[in-house]
Structure 1
Amino acid sequence: MFSENIYINTNFKNKFDSSDLNADSPPAPQKKTTTHESCHRFSKVLLTSFTVYFLLLTTLFSVALINKVWSCCPKHWKPFSSHCYFTATDSASWSESEEKCSSMGAHLMVIHSQEEQDFITKILDSQAAYYIGLSDAGHRQWRWVDQTPYNESATFWHPGEPSSDNEQCVIINHRYSGWGWNDILCSSKHKSVCQMKKICL
């Protein structure tokens, strides 16, 4: 009987110890901690991404706004590329026309590309002729008023022009073949096109 009691007590003690151990051991929180850390890390990455995206958008918007607002032309002048253009409707000689442009901080128009030629002809009256900033210093040495080089491959003479050594100034006018350049006497009275660089404030 004594040995039975010892067996029962031992068995009961083993049961108690084992249940006691189960009660004391906390549930494994590692999965929760890992999930929580991952979520926290993801939030940080997302916040950083949004911040960078917002700053980039703000920078691009600012650059676009500055270019649009601060690069401009005076009232009644037409913008194209980096220049502004004004068509003078009163007739004058070539030198008088250049003086008038100069008084506005500009010069007679200089044309270096087909795009520029096409732009200006769209806003001109096809029934009129307009002085541009090209003249002959003598012996058919054509020069632009702004001292930029005269490029033979970027000229828009009408067929058969220039036609006379005595005609040392140039107009742009419309003929049956379209818009083009024509040499003319510098004393002739015509309208003109002035050009200046865009104003950047």
Structure 2
Amino acid sequence: MSQNMEKIQAEQKTMKSQDSELSQNLNELREDLSNLHSQGFNERHTALRALGRLQEEVAKLWIELRTSNARTPGVTPGEKLPPTLPIVPITVPTTEPATVPTTVPTTVPTTVPTTVPTTVPTTVPTTVPATVPAAGPATGPTTLPTTAAPLSLSSTPGSTCNTCPEQWVSFQKKCYYFGEGPKKWIEARFACSKLQGRLVSIHSQEEQDFLTKRANKKGSWIGLRDLNIEGEFVWMDENPLDYSNWQPGEPNNEGEGEDCVMMQGSGRWNDAFCLSRLDGWVCDRLATC
């Protein structure tokens, strides 16, 4: 009986040692898995930010190339450029590292019975089954846009919502941001994009009157241009040119290179060189609930 008691105690010590070693291994595995996920997240985030900056620079180069070609001898004005490079959705993974349980369900008797049965089994199991669950599936969305969801900037009323971000002005279910500071047209475009909006698209006299009262009196960039095909003006929201407010004699494509549209202090429109710097620029986006 004494020998059997000693054998049981020895088995208990062995199982406790194995349990401690297994727990340590699991902790190391969890730490390695967390580091791996973190490293992959950081590398992908850095790469996607670099891609976004590259796309912005490419778009700027396209506009500068278009305006330069328009003023270069031998280049046909209005010649169609290659298709604009598509904007790749910038997604940032938010998958959290899968977690590994820190404890292992192992049943080990902590005490030895004070009474020993008269009949002692001749064999004692040397192993205790331990079930270690594999890394659980990560939950949650796998992507998170670095900017807000694409905005539909149609002027057609589709909602009664009229909530706008701070420093934006609400009017007829849209929000407007009146930017200040010298910018080229492409710089104004990306400034609006970073604010989760677009260069303004104007579709009614009421909207024009609202903008005229608040826009920079020295002139502001708006979201109208004919960069691809001369004379074919396109709004940033891609809706038809169903309203216009041109200055008499405009657009005239003076110097065969005026492909971006500005709004003068009077509210009248004028086609201008895209590389010119204006003190004002106007963004818009739909209001929210």
Per-residue Cα deviation, 1:101-139 (whole angstroms, up to 9, x for no partner) = 01111000000100000001111232x110000000222
Deviation (angstroms), 1:144:
0.5
Q: Which has the higher contact order (CA 8 A, sep 6+)?
A: 1
1:117 alignment counterpart: 208
1:129 alignment counterpart: 219
Work out the CA distance in 1 between the residues paired with 2:257 and 2:167.
35
SS at match of 1:179: coil
1:93 alignment counterpart: 184
Q: Please say if residues 162 and 170 of structure 2, whose CA atoms lie closer than 8 Å, have aligned partners that are also in contact.
A: no
Runs of 4+ in 1 over 6 A off after TM superposition: none
Work out the CA distance in 2 between the residues paired with 1:71 and 1:119.
16
Work out the CA distance in 2 between the residues paired with 1:125 and 1:98.
16
1:180 alignment counterpart: 268
Work out the CA distance in 1 between the residues paired with 2:211 and 2:173.
14
1:196 alignment counterpart: 285
* Structure (1/2) with the larger strand percentage: 1
1:156 aligns with 2:258: no
1:167 alignment counterpart: 258
Rg larger for: 1
- What letter corresponds to residue 189 of structure 2 in structure 1? E
1:74 alignment counterpart: 165
Within 5 Å, which residues of 2 pair with 1:49-64? none
- What letter corresponds to residue 222 of structure 2 in structure 1? I
With over 3 angstroms needed to count, the CA separation of the structure-2 counterparts of 1:118 and 1:102, relative to structure 1, is same
Deviation (angstroms), 1:81:
0.3
2:73 alignment counterpart: none
2:238 alignment counterpart: 147
Q: Please say if residues 162 and 174 of structure 2, whose CA atoms lie closer than 8 Å, have aligned partners that are also in contact.
A: no
Unaligned runs of 5+ in 2: 1-159
SS at match of 1:120: helix
Work out the CA distance in 1 between the residues paired with 2:196 and 2:282.
13
Unaligned runs of 5+ in 1: 1-66
Q: Please say if residues 222 and 262 of structure 2, whose CA atoms lie closer than 8 Å, have aligned partners that are also in contact.
A: yes
- What letter corresponds to residue 184 of structure 1 in structure 2? A
User: What TM-score, normalized by structure 1, do the two folds share?
Assistant: 0.60
1:138 alignment counterpart: 229
Deviation (angstroms), 1:149:
1.1
* Structure (1/2) with the larger helix percentage: 1
Deviation (angstroms), 1:71:
3.3
SS at match of 1:96: helix
User: What TM-score, normalized by structure 2, do the two folds share?
Assistant: 0.42
Root mean square deviation of aligned Cα? 1.3
